[in-house]
């Protein structure tokens, strides 16, 4: 997958940014509107795939020097950690805690442990998709 198309590369950079932003939006919207960690994660990895198409595996590896399997594990750790967190407060597993804060200017905001859990989901999805795509890509 080697394409040295300058236009594509430039366009990719822009689109990539937009998609990543959108994926973050989707991720945070999840609790209130359609969206969530899963969709967000898929979007983000979609963006990275785009990067792959524009450049090649090696370049992407340079830009994102992660072992995506470890990203997956990290995501699981987040999710499982949030889940187990409840135990330390003598609550059942996965008990969430949330509150609303009203900082000036920004208005009503919610703080929710579910977000951390969802971050885990996000990371796992990114990790998994990227692992799969990288592995298959390398084998070819």
Partner 1 sequence: MSLLHLAIIAPFILAIFVPSLHKALPKIHTGWFLLPLPIVLFSYFLSFLPQIIRGETTMETLNWIPSLGINFSARVDGLGLLFSLLITGIGALVVLYSIYYLSKEKEKLNQFYVYLLLFMGAMLGVVLSDNMVVLYGFWELTSFSSFLLIGYWNHRERSRYGAQKSMLITVFGGLSMLGGMILLYLMTGTFSISETIAMAATIYGHELFIPALICILLGAFTKSAQFPFHIWLPDAMEAPTPVSAYLHSATMVKAGIYLVARLTPVFALSGLWVWLVAGFGILTLFWGSFSAVKHNDLKGILAYSTISQLGLIMSLLGLGAAAIHYPAVEAGFYTVAVSAAVFHLINHATFKGSLFMMVGIVDHETGTRDIRKLGGLMSIMPITFTIAVIGSFSMAGLPPFNGFLSKEMFFTGMIRAQEIGFFNMETLGLIFPIVAWVASVFTFLYSMIIVFKTFTGKYQPEKLEVKPHEAPLGMLISPIILVSLVVVIGLFPNIVAPLINSVMASILPSLVAEGMKFDVHIYHWHGFTPELFMTIGVIVVGILLYKFMPRWTGIYNRMPEKFSLNSAYDNGLAGIQKGANRFTNAYMTNSIRTYLLYIFTFLILSLGTTLIVKNAFVLDTANVANIHAFELVLVIIIAIGSVSILFVKSRMTSIILLGSVGYAVSLFYAIFRAPDLALTQLVIETVSVALFLLAFYHLPKVNKNEEHMRFKMGNAVISIGVGVVVSLIALSAHSSKAFDSISQYYIENTYKKAGGENMVNVILVDFRGFDTLFEIAVLAIAALGIFSLIKLRLTRGKEQG
Partner 2 sequence: MNSLITLPLLIPLFTAIILVFFNKNVTVQRWIATIGSLLTLAAAVWLSATVYTQGIQTMDLSNWQAPFGITLVSDMLSSILVVTTSLIGFVCLLYSFRSIGVEREKHYYYPVFFFLILGVNGAFTTGDIFNMFVFFEVMLMASYVLLVLGGTKIQLRETIKYLLVNVISSGLFVIAVAYLYSVVGTLNMAHISVRLNELGQSGIVTVIAVLFLIVFGIKGAIFPLYFWLPGAYYAPPAPIMALFGALLTKVGVYSITRTYTLFFTQDIGYTHGLLEILSIITIIIGVIGAIAYFDVKKIIIYNIIVAVGVILFGVATFTTESLTGSVFYLIHDMIIKAALFLLIGIMIKITGTSNLREMGGLINRYPGLAWTYFVAALALAGIPPLSGFLGKILIVRAGIDAGNYWGSGVVLLSSLLVLFSVMKIFMNGFWGKAREYKQQEKVPVRWLLTAPVILTICAVLYGLGSEALYPIISTAAETLSNPEIYIKAVLKE
Partner 3 sequence: MEILMSLLIGVIFMSATYLMLSKSLLRIIVGTGLLSHGVHLLLLTMGGLKRGAAPLLGQQAEAYTDPLPQALILTAIVISFGITALFLVVAYRSYQELGTDNMELMRGKEGNE
Closer of 17 and 98 to partner 3 (Cβ): 98
Distance CA 41, CA 20 (A): 10
Give SS3 for 33: coil
**Does 83 help bind partner 1 (rule: CB under 8 A)?**
yes
How many residues touch partner 3 under the rule CB under 8 A: the total is: 7
**Does 132 help bind partner 2 (rule: CB under 8 A)?**
no
Taking CB under 8 A as the binding criterion, the range among 10-18, 57-65, 72-80, 101-109 that sits at the site for partner 1 is: 72-80
Q: Residue 24 touches which of partner 2, partner 3, partner 1, none (CB < 5 to 8 A by kind)?
A: none
**Does 28 help bind partner 3 (rule: CB under 8 A)?**
no
Interaction with partner 1 in 39-68: which residues (CB under 8 A)?
A: 39, 42-43, 46, 68
CB of 99 to partner 2, least distance (A): 16
51-81 b/e (C-beta count within 10 Å ≥ 16 → b): bbebbeeeebeeeeeeebeebbebbeebbee
User: Facing residues of 111 across strands?
Assistant: 99
Name every residue whose Cβ is closer than 8 Å to that of residue 56 and which is 6 or more positions away in sequence.
Answer: 1, 2
Max Cα-Cα span within the chain:
57
Q: Which residues bind partner 2 (CB under 8 A)?
A: 69-70, 72-73, 76-77, 80, 83-84, 86-87, 90-96
């Amino acid at each position: 997958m080697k394409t040295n198309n300058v236009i594509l590369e430039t366009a990719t950079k822009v689109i990539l940014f937009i998609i990543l932003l959108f994926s973050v939006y989707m991720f945070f919207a999840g609790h209130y509107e359609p969206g969530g960690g899963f969709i967000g994660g898929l979007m983000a990895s979609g963006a990275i795939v785009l990067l792959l198409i524009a450049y090649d595996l090696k370049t992407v590896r340079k830009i994102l020097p992660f072992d995506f399997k470890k990203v997956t594990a990290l995501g699981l750790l987040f999710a499982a950690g949030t889940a187990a967190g409840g135990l330390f407060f003598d609550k059942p597993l996965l008990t969430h805690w949330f509150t609303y804060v009203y900082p000036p200017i920004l208005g009503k905001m919610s703080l929710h442990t579910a977000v951390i859990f969802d971050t885990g989901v996000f990371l796992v999805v990114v990790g998994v998709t990227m692992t799969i795509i990288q592995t298959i890509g390398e084998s070819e």
